Amino acid sequence: MKSLFLLAVSVPALLLSASCLYGQAVTDSAKLQAQLAKDEKTLQDWANLGRYRNDNSLLPIPEAGKDRVVFMGDSITDAWGRSLGTFFPSKPYINRGISGQTTPQMLIRFRPDVLALKPRAVVILAGTNDIAGNTGPATIEEIEGNLQSMAQLAAANNIKVVLASVLPVCDYIKPQTARRPPEKIVTLNAWIKEYCTQNHLVYLDYYSAMVDEHNMFKKELTYDGLHPNAAGYEVMSPLAAQAIAATLAGR
């Protein structure tokens, strides 16, 4: 009788355990399939040239007397005005950010997503994903070289250049500094500022306005320690507007 009781108790438990394991396997399989699909897309179009191909083809030539500006960047640019913040209403500004991208990817798509659009100016915000190694290890010198190449391409096509500082990060909400050491961000920003000074470009200093006394991203300006929240974009918008006005005034 005791054996039958134990069997009666054990069978449902075993069935429940098997059901849980099956459910976990299905979930893991779905995640694997999604990752494989993402990786396949990356292999086919590493720089994601297809992201804006159709939008670019439909874009008319710039109107006379209106200063078109392209924002080139990663997820911080990509989300601006799309999921968070307001992206310069009534201004002929174009968002060409792509989440997760690094400077070599942006350099590849710089021609179709910036030069071909014939803007008066380009605002480049890039480097944090290079530091994190999103597309493999990258030295600070390599990041600098890619930023310099984009700036030179723009200048060769009579496009004014605004180079933005990389934003700070913090661990207040979730771990961020291990992948993006603050000292590397400071080093890269120092180079960007010096490069702008030497080449008479406008340096857009987001970093100083968004860092706290501990050299961390101000908690009230971010939702994850890496990306700005709505309040963060409110800080960035006037800084970007001032930088654009300054570079266009030097035409």
**84-107 tens-digit pLDDT:** 999 999 999 999 999 999 999 999
Q: Decide: residue 239, CB within 10 A, 0-12 exposed, 13-18 middle, 19+ buried.
A: middle
Tell me how long the chain is.
251
CA dihedral over 27, 226, 222, 164, signed as positive or negative: negative
Q: Which uninterrupted H or E stretch holds 75?
A: helix 75-78
CA atoms within 13 A on the CB side of 20: 6
Sign of CA dihedral 42, 141, 130, 163: negative
Q: What is the end-to-end Cα distance of the chain in Å, rounded?
A: 94
Question: Is residue 158 packed enough to be buried (19+ CB in 10 Å), middle (13-18) or exposed (0-12)?
Answer: exposed
Task: Provide the whole-model pTM.
Answer: 0.86
Per the prediction, the chain carries an average pLDDT of 92
Asked which of 18-32, 42-56, 183-197 is least confident by mean pLDDT, the reply is 18-32
Q: Give the residue among 165, 166, 163 at the shortest CA–CA distance from 149.
A: 163
- Low-confidence winner among 23-27, 110-114, 132-136 (lowest mean pLDDT): 23-27
Q: How confident is the model at residue 31 (pLDDT cuts 50, 70, 90)?
A: confident
Residue 34 pLDDT level (bands cut at 50, 70, 90): confident
Q: Is 203:196 a contact under the CB 8 Å cutoff?
A: yes
Task: Please say whether the structural domain 53-249 has been given the CATH code 3.30.1360.20.
Answer: no
Helical packing angle, 140-156 and 182-198, nearest 10°? 30
Helix (H, G, I), strand (E, B) or coil at 84: strand
**How far is Cα 201 from Cα 195, in angstroms, rounded to an integer?**
8
Residue 95 exposure: Cα atoms within 13 Å on the Cβ side = 18
pLDDT of residue 59: 96
What is the reported pLDDT for 2? 54
